[in-house]
Amino acid sequence: MQKFGFIGLGIMGSAMAKNLARAGFDVTVWNRTPEKCAELAALGAKIAKAPRDVVQGCPITFAMLADPAAAEAVCFGPDGALTGIGEGRGYVDMSTVDAGISRRIAEAVTAKGGRFLEAPVSGSRKPAEDGTLIILAAGDRSLYEEATPALEKMGKKVLYLGEVGNGANMKLVVNMVMGGMMSIFCEGLALGEKAGLDRSDILEVIDAGAMANPMFRLKGGLIDKGDYTVAFPLKHMQKDLRLAVNLGDNMKQPLYSAAIANEVFKKAKELGFGEEDFSALFKAVQG
């Protein structure tokens, strides 16, 4: 039986760790808020006192943290993952961070004798629960191969993208496109309604043509019901857009639409919608 550690039991991490436990792996977990470990313990997972203890006790540890600051804190902080790395142990960071932070963590892990893989995911709460995420891995090839049995329980598609940074950049590109799509989608709904069109008719027309896609279909239906139950927090989408815009600056690539979408999401956060699903952008756009 393979043994895996899992650090970070938020909306995504909790569902992903549960899939590992249900698959019969020996799982050890840690979360900043210990109460979130209870459901994993009920599935047979062991609970560690600190990230260091998880890494020391497991050949491979996965981390799924909310943002770059959390990813760095868990790695470099007191009793952090880095203090337990060594002897070829693997650290797989599945958080959405920029390539620079991913490389910094990779360098620190390898300097201590460990192996590093970045593996951010495309997908939200439901795909995480169903084990149908798209996993964007890059880094140590041997660690990728050893972690694949676990990755395949968390995702329906697992890609190896080469050197560290490629996974992070791919995730930012994907989420930048998704954030931009949501922004114009919400503006279209708001404009149509103010022009006297029925929202359900707008959704039906969009779903019948070349623009049809699963996100518009799912989120459009929920917007129509006024249901903004969080699957992917709006504040996290704004964070990803900000990171994408920063990447554009570094690459000297103009990102006109992404920059505007980022400002719209920033306004939605300012209005207090940050903890809701990113489709709550509609409430900010609607005015």
In order of 97, 196, 230, 253, the CA distances from 246 in angstroms are 12, 39, 26, 10
3-state secondary structure of 91: strand
- The strand pairing partners of 60, in sequence order, are 4, 90
Alpha-carbon distance values, 280 to 212, 273, 276 (Å): 20, 7, 6
Closest by CA position to 238, among listed 186, 193, 278, 195: 278
Pull the structure tokens for residue 94. Answer: 């599945």
pLDDT tens-place string over residues 139-189: 999 999 999 999 999 999 999 999 999 999 999 999 999 999 999 999 999
Q: Are 90 and 58 contacting, i.e. CB atoms less than 8 angstroms apart?
A: no
Phi/psi for 255 (5° steps) reads: -130, 70
b/e map 193-211, b = 16+ CB within 10 Å: eeeeeeeeebbeebeeeee
Beta-ladder partners of 155: 133
| Residue 258: CB atoms within 10 Å | 24
pTM flag (> 0.75):
yes
Please give the domain boundaries of the chain with CATH numbers for all domains. 3-163 (3.40.50.720), 169-286 (1.10.1040.10)
Instruction: Give me the residue label for tokens 């569902």.
Output: 15
* Residue 141: φ, ψ to 5°: -70, -40
* Residue found by looking up tokens 């992070």 in the block: 168
For 44: left if phi > 0, alpha if psi spans -120 to 50, otherwise beta; the answer is: left
pLDDT score at 164? 98
Q: Which residues are catalytic?
A: 171
**β-strands 133-139, 90-93 pairing:** unpaired
Residue 256's contacts (CB-CB under 8 Å, 6 or more residues apart) are none
Pick out the chain residues at pLDDT < 70: none
